[in-house]
Amino acid sequence: MSKLFTIATIAALVGVGSQASAADMVFTSWGGTTQDVQKAAWADKFSSQEGVNIIQDGPTDYGKIKAMVEAGGVTWDVIDVEGDYAVQAGNNGLLEKLDFSVIDKTKLDPRFVTDYSVGSFYYSFVIGCNKDVVDACPKTWADLFDTAKFPGKRTFYKWSAPGVIEAALLADGVAPDKLYPLDLDRAFKKLDTIKSDIIWWSAGAQSQQLLASAEAPFGSFWNGRLTALAESGVTVETSWEQNITAADVLVVPKGAKNKDTAMKFIAFATSPEAQAEMAKGTGYAPTNVDSSKLMDPELAKTLPDQQTASQINADMSYWAEHRDEIGERWYAWQAK
């Protein structure tokens, strides 16, 4: 979910490889609290069960994946990536096909399963508000774009990814089932109306700081960040109206040295128990449909998989096909 695009040098690929042995497997994710939970809920338990040492690495870097595969020097085995990237990378020959004789996909949410990836967890972009510092909280994307009704700064995700453009179009009256193909002209025109009132967040912790400090008393957030903020004592209101879903997924890069172990690890990580543990620790939804049965009902009802009535699925295939051109326009618009 985070999302820096950096270009790695071949020399940078040597480090992890020199540390791993035949009995190791390397898991790469985005760092921070999410990877801490992935380590505790998946890696440590898989290590105990299978006797395989899981080396943690990161952050995920798409330039590095491409460089490793093209150089034939792949040092990562399982990687947490964005769903649209997985579609694009699979089409471009950068990923191994997953072995579904090892990974049981029958209980996985089919929205997040492809030949090359399965959901790591899924989340929603929702509207969050610090109730202690405003008279009223925005409930809809139209509200969030209404600076007359809700004056003040609002915060949005900085990077080019599913979420903000969809929110702008919904705020402008586009019906959820008419979002794709994205009308970029219309979306940027709508974003122009609040551009001077936007404070961008580039990482989840920053979004929490902006809301807690009231520098931006409302905005668009990953739902799990609001759950965590509420648990810390901040009076947070979350609106699930038209919550926009996206997922991180697990992939195996082409030429991974520990491919068989990687498949077993993914099977473990997507089991009902492991997905439930992940959801408990992050506030994001499990991708195994049996996981909610293993969770406290009070916690389970706060997750995106319980908010499907008002849910809109970001189209990962569309984003995979257009992510480069959207990104080019997105950053040019931000720089103006």
List the beta bridge partners of residue 123.
246
Q: Give the residue-averaged pLDDT of 10-31.
A: 64
pLDDT at 7 over 80: no
The band of 2, judged by pLDDT with boundaries at 50, 70 and 90, is very low
Q: Cis before residue 181, ω within 30 degrees of 0?
A: yes
| Tens-place pLDDT, residues 268-288 | 999 999 999 999 999 999 999
pLDDT at 262 over 90: yes
* Tokens 């990836």, residue located: 117
pLDDT at 179 over 90: yes
pLDDT at 212 over 90: yes
Q: Which pLDDT score, from 0 to 100, does residue 302 have?
A: 87
Tell me the one-letter amino acid at 283: G
Q: Which pLDDT score, from 0 to 100, does residue 204 have?
A: 86
What is each CA distance from 169 to 286, 321, 335, in whole angstroms? Answer: 28, 19, 21
Residue 324 Rama label (left phi>0; alpha psi -120 to 50; beta): alpha
3-state secondary structure (DSSP) of residue 252 = coil
For residue 186, count CB atoms less than 10 angstroms from its CB and return exposed for 0-12, middle for 13-18, buried for 19 or more: middle
pLDDT at 8 over 50: no
* Tokens 């790469």, residue located: 28
Q: Which pLDDT score, from 0 to 100, does residue 228 have?
A: 87
| Tens-place pLDDT, residues 47-68 | 999 999 999 999 999 999 999 9
| Tens-place pLDDT, residues 232-244 | 999 999 999 999 9
